[in-house]
């Protein structure tokens, strides 16, 4: 079984984080959650804090509120998480964080893990956002950029969404994108953008872990 680092961002679909955590732990994996501040609006972080599996931005600076300061030799949390994890999963991945990943912005613990991630190790991304956000040209541009960094090479810009994701998944040895699905969204709009089913995300994780073992 594997060490799974589950990233959670500020999509309404973060309500599914507890279900993802339960499914992964039921499969025998050790799971830690690194969540953005926005993500915790959609699930109760207190249910994870007792078991010390939830990492928030403030955990990067222990004792800061009491006036404590970093000392040489102290651990750097986002690096420790990178070392611990066998696979990095971001589910849900909102539009804001997708843009940050694509350009290398690292202004919170989750994106610092991403920037420090060993590109030879597996990643699963499961986007979830409003339909028009998903259909925006920036979204396709950002996915293509991330895929290129993950070894997929040049992917044509004209591809439809399904073909784009298929090419990313076929051509990158370390990246798998779990496409969002069409349904009525939390905002009331109907269209593509909802997080894939928990089982589909878990299956993608298992697939990438299996691929990493073969490699």
What pLDDT shows up at residue 72? 76
Q: Where are the alpha helices (DSSP H) in the chain?
A: 17-26, 46-49, 77-84, 95-103, 109-116, 131-135, 137-147, 161-171, 198-214
Is pTM beyond 0.75 here?
A: yes
Given a cut of 90, whether residue 188 has pLDDT beyond it is no
Complete edge-to-edge strand list for the sheet that includes strand 54-55: 54-55, 30-35, 3-8, 87-93, 123-127, 175-177
Banded model confidence at residue 92, pLDDT cuts 50, 70, 90: very high
Range of the domain at 172: 3-214
What pLDDT shows up at residue 66? 63
| Catalytic residue of the set 29, 78, 112, 142 | 78
Give yes or no: 106 in active site: no
Residue 91 corresponds to which tokens in the numbers above?
A: 């589910």
Q: Which residue has 């409003």 as its token pair? A: 130
Mean pLDDT for 100-125 is: 97
CA distance 18 to 179: 20
Mean pLDDT for 29-33 is: 97
What pLDDT shows up at residue 163? 94
What pLDDT shows up at residue 47? 84
Banded model confidence at residue 107, pLDDT cuts 50, 70, 90: very high
Task: Using alpha carbons, select from 96, 211, 203 the residue that is nearest to residue 151.
Answer: 211
Q: Report the SS3 class of residue 77.
A: helix
Banded model confidence at residue 174, pLDDT cuts 50, 70, 90: very high
Give yes or no: 187 in active site: yes
Higher-confidence residue: 125 or 72? 125
Helix axes 137-147, 95-103, angle to 10 degrees: 40
To the nearest whole percent, how much of the chain has pLDDT over 70?
Answer: 93
Whichever domain contains 88, its CATH number is 3.40.50.1950
What pLDDT shows up at residue 119? 92
**pLDDT tens-place string over residues 43-85:** 999 888 767 799 999 888 876 666 667 767 677 899 999 999 9
User: How many structural domains comprise the chain?
Assistant: 1
Instruction: Report the range out of 68-72, 102-106, 208-212 with the highest average pLDDT.
Output: 102-106
Cβ within 8 Å of residue 168, ≥6 positions away: 143, 147, 150, 152, 155, 175, 176, 177
Q: Which residue has 């912005």 as its token pair? A: 105
**pLDDT tens-place string over residues 10-27:** 999 999 999 999 999 999
Q: What are phi and psi of 46, to 5 degrees?
A: -65, -25
Given a cut of 90, whether residue 206 has pLDDT beyond it is yes
Q: Which residue has 């989750």 as its token pair? A: 110
Task: Using alpha carbons, select from 210, 177, 207, 205 the residue that is nearest to residue 30.
Answer: 205
What pLDDT shows up at residue 64? 65
Mean pLDDT taken over the chain? 92
């Amino acid at each position: 079984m594997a060490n799974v680092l589950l990233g959670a961002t500020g999509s309404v679909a973060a309500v599914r984080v507890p279900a993802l955590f339960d499914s992964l732990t039921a499969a025998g994996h050790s799971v830690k959650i690194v969540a953005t501040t926005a993500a915790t609006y959609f699930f109760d972080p207190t249910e994870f804090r007792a078991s010390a599996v939830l990492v928030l931005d403030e955990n990067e600076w222990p004792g800061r509120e009491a006036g404590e300061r970093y000392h040489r030799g102290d651990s750097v949390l986002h690096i420790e998480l990178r070392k611990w994890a066998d696979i990095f999963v971001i589910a849900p991945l909102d539009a804001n964080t997708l843009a940050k990943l694509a350009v290398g912005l690292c202004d919170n613990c989750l994106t610092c893990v991403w920037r420090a991630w060993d590109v030879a190790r597996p990643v699963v991304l499961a986007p979830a956002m409003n339909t028009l956000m998903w259909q925006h040209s920036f979204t396709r541009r950002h996915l293509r950029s991330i895929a290129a960094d993950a070894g997929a090479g040049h992917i044509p810009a004209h591809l439809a969404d399904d073909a784009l994701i298929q090419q990313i998944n076929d051509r990158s040895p370390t990246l798998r994108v779990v496409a969002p699905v069409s349904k009525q969204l939390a905002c009331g709009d109907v269209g593509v953008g909802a997080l894939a089913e928990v089982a589909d995300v878990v299956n993608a994780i298992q697939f990438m872990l299996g691929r990493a073992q073969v490699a």
